[in-house]
Amino acid sequence: MPLLVREAKLDDIPIIYKYIKDLAEYEKAPEEAILTEEDLKRTLFPDIPQVYCLVSEFENTVTGIAIWHLNYSTWLGKHGIYLEDLYVDPKYRGQGHGKALLVALAKICIERGYQRLQWWVLDWNKSAIDFYDSIGAHAMDEWTVFRVSGKELGKLANSDK
């Protein structure tokens, strides 16, 4: 059987959940992945979805996931795809599964007129960086990511100025 990339189905929730947990472990932050399978069901399969998931499948086994949502460039006046998570089971790495997921996302961009496919990668993840370099991705090293969350998010939301 050939490698297949398809949209996730409700039956895929347990393996998607497992892969998200595995990714959090790999990224040395397992305590931060507090989602539940029920959270995934609500997020990926509502009446009007805003988050999407592709899976790679080989011999009837889900081998990887790509969870994504739309972003927007005011400068281009166009949407793009933000890839939240890309994960391939270690048993299938180096066999084209990650690239197949990225190719599928690139095709969605082209078909829908989206101008960008972008994501973050941890600075220490050299194997991922090398892979992304090999497909023509460019590091945006002049940008710094900022985040407000948790207690600070609540404080900001409740401030007057």
132 is catalytic: yes
DSSP H helical segments within 5-125, as ranges?
Answer: 13-26, 37-44, 97-112
Q: What are the domain boundaries of the chain?
A: 4-157
CATH code of the domain made up of 4-157: 3.40.630.30
Q: What is the pTM of this model?
A: 0.93
Of the candidates 17, 19, 52, 132, the residue annotated as catalytic is: 132
Closest CA to 39 of 65, 66, 13: 13
**Phi, psi (5° rounding) for residue 44?**
-85, -20
pLDDT tens per residue, range 135-157: 999 999 899 889 999 999 999 99
pLDDT tens per residue, range 34-47: 999 999 999 999 99
